[in-house]
Amino acid sequence: MLDQIEAKIRNGERIDEEEALYLLRHPDLNRIGRLANDVRESMWGRRCTYNINRHIHPTNVCVFRCTFCSFYRRPGQDGGYLVSPEEAVERAKALSDLGITELHMVGGCHPTAKTDYYCSLYRAIKEELPHIHIKSLTAVEVAWLARVSKQSFEEVLVRLKEAGLDSLPGGGAEIFAQRVRDLTCGGKCDAEEWLEVHRVAHRIGIPTNSTMLYGHIETDEEIVDHLSQLRKLQDETGGFMTFIPLAYHPENNVMEIEEGPSGQRSLQVFAVSRLFLDNIPHLKAYWVMLGLEIAQMALWYGADDLDGTVVDEHIYHDAGAITPDVLTVSDLRKLIAEAERDPIERDTLYRPIVRDEATGQILEIGKETIAS
Ligand code: SF4
């Protein structure tokens, strides 16, 4: 069957769920990885993109209790915070001389911070730093804002877009299967709502990313189902820029799983994702969760992007990620070059960026988006 699947892929045909499941379970990781790499190289050649970004978590207070989450504080609990627009601007400005092009802003579902709060956050940032791309709010947070602000998904997203929101990250998808959601993150938005938030975002011109949290209690079938639901929505809207498989981290949470996925499992998930998601242009190896070594290897198993400098990330570091909490641009470029790939800085929309080597000033942002 592997020969038949390989022939199909090499002919440019789409593989189905049953075939994806077969690949996910097949012991010949190297052959599947080589196939995924051939597909990746036919799309992007040797290049591997990265961006210069920082994370700001607007709040760590959350009404939900996801069992895999090490980040949240309950409303009223010590250590909870809600960042003011002024603070967010100060943090972003403090790092603007590092050349950041993107702010990645996600956090908890706060009981009283409504759409207006996020609008004032984005407006304040755009006023001071109009060139910064704001990638913010998972679909879970958008669905929560709709609930707490008594607005539709579209009303929330239109208002946020007007205030300066440029794109949505892909978090909160976890695993779509309701069995897993009931056991790990019951109460927060379900698969249908997650997909609907992204559908609406794509319709009104907000590009988004997609994710999958793997390596905990999910089955192989549930992984394939998750990929399949993403592929269907992408066929409909074309609004996903990238897919990011997120490796589960076991520390500081209440989930009774002591280990995250092995390197072998991660590489297999990457390879199958590249082969199955033939309509999502990019596959990101998020080094914070994968670890630097597996992230490098993933660049030969389908991935073409390494995310960014990621200053001040807490969600996964609180969960035990032992990766550094920031990589410099030269760290990132070295990692990529060591993996025999060509590093290219990009913006959030995957457009290549050319800088003056001496000053770091942006000379040019490619007119042609790398995202197909
Ligand atoms: S994963 Fe998100 S929604 Fe779940 S508890 Fe943590 S912050 Fe809240």
Q: If you average pLDDT over residues 272-279, what whole number do you get?
A: 98
pLDDT for the residue 31: 97
HEC assignment per residue over 54-110? EEECCECECCCCCCCCCCCECCCCCCCCECCHHHHHHHHHHCHHHCCCEEEECCCCC
Tracing tokens 């008594």 back to the chain, one arrives at: 150
Q: What is this structure's pTM?
A: 0.93
Residue 266 tokens read as 């991660």
Identity of the amino acid at 368: E
Tell me the CA–centroid distance for residue 67 and ligand 1, in Å: 9
% of the chain with per-residue pLDDT over 90 = 76
Distance, CA of 240 to chain centre: 11
Q: If you average pLDDT over residues 111-122, what whole number do you get?
A: 97
Identity of the amino acid at 273: S
C-alpha–C-alpha distance, residues 330 and 246, integer Å: 24
Tell me the CA–centroid distance for residue 9 and ligand 1, in Å: 37
DSSP state of 174: S
Crossing angle of helices 139-149 and 153-163, rounded to 10°: 110
Identity of the amino acid at 313: E
65 CA: nearest ligand 1 atom: 5
| Residue 261 zone, left/alpha/beta (φ > 0; ψ -120 to 50; rest) | beta
68 CA: nearest ligand 1 atom: 1
Tell me the CA–centroid distance for residue 292 and ligand 1, in Å: 25
Tell me the CA–centroid distance for residue 266 and ligand 1, in Å: 23
Q: Give the angle subtended at the CA of 314 by the CAs of 68 and 109, to the nearest 5°.
A: 65
Give residue ranges with CB within 6 A of ligand 1: 62, 64-66, 69, 71-72, 108-109, 140, 185, 188
Nearest Cα to 221, choosing from 20, 4, 2?
20
Each residue's pLDDT tens digit, 67-78? 888 889 999 999
71 CA: nearest ligand 1 atom: 6
Indicate the top mutation candidate among 63, 64, 249 to test ligand 1's pocket, ranked by most ligand atoms within 8 A of CB: 64
Q: In what order do the strands lie in the sheet with 305-308?
A: 305-308, 47-51, 342-345
Q: What are the beta bridge partners of residue 245?
A: 212
Query: Which one is predicted more confidently, 255 or 288?
Result: 288
Residue 51 tokens read as 């961006």
Tell me the CA–centroid distance for residue 108 and ligand 1, in Å: 6
CB atoms within 10 A of CB 232: 12
Residue 30 has pLDDT above 60, yes or no: yes
Q: If you average pLDDT over residues 50-58, what whole number do you get?
A: 91
Tell me the CA–centroid distance for residue 68 and ligand 1, in Å: 8
Q: How far is CA 277 from CA 43, 171, 266, in A?
A: 13, 18, 16
Torsion of CA 91, 92, 95, 96, to 10 degrees: -150
Indicate the top mutation candidate among 63, 68, 69 to test ligand 1's pocket, ranked by most ligand atoms within 8 A of CB: 69
Collapsing DSSP to helix, strand or coil, 363 comes out as strand
Least confident segment among 17-26, 157-166, 196-205, 300-309: 300-309
C-alpha–C-alpha distance, residues 258 and 31, integer Å: 30
C-alpha–C-alpha distance, residues 73 and 122, integer Å: 23
% of the chain with per-residue pLDDT over 70 = 92
Provide the pLDDT confidence category of residue 353 given band limits of 50, 70 and 90: very high
Provide the pLDDT confidence category of residue 64 given band limits of 50, 70 and 90: very high
Identity of the amino acid at 115: T
Indicate the top mutation candidate among 63, 72, 145, 313 to test ligand 1's pocket, ranked by most ligand atoms within 8 A of CB: 72
Residues 76, 192 contacting (CB under 8 angstroms):
no
Q: How far is CA 301 from CA 29, 33, 41, 182, 197, in A?
A: 9, 5, 10, 32, 30
Least confident segment among 62-66, 194-198, 208-212, 308-312: 308-312
Identity of the amino acid at 62: C
DSSP state of 167: B
Superfamily of domain 2-7+17-365: Aldolase class I (3.20.20.70)
Instruction: Please report, for the chain, the start and end positions of each structural domain, with discontinuous segments joined by +.
Output: 2-7+17-365
Please compute, for residue 213, the number of CA atoms within 13 A of its CA located in the half-sphere on the CB side: 23
Residue 137 phi/psi, 5-degree rounding, is 75, 115
Q: Using only C-alpha atoms, what is the Rg of the chain?
A: 20
Residues 245, 273 contacting (CB under 8 angstroms):
yes
HEC assignment per residue over 276-290? HCCCCCEEECCHHHH
Sign of torsion over alpha carbons 226, 229, 169, 85: negative
Tell me the CA–centroid distance for residue 66 and ligand 1, in Å: 6
C-alpha–C-alpha distance, residues 351 and 303, integer Å: 17
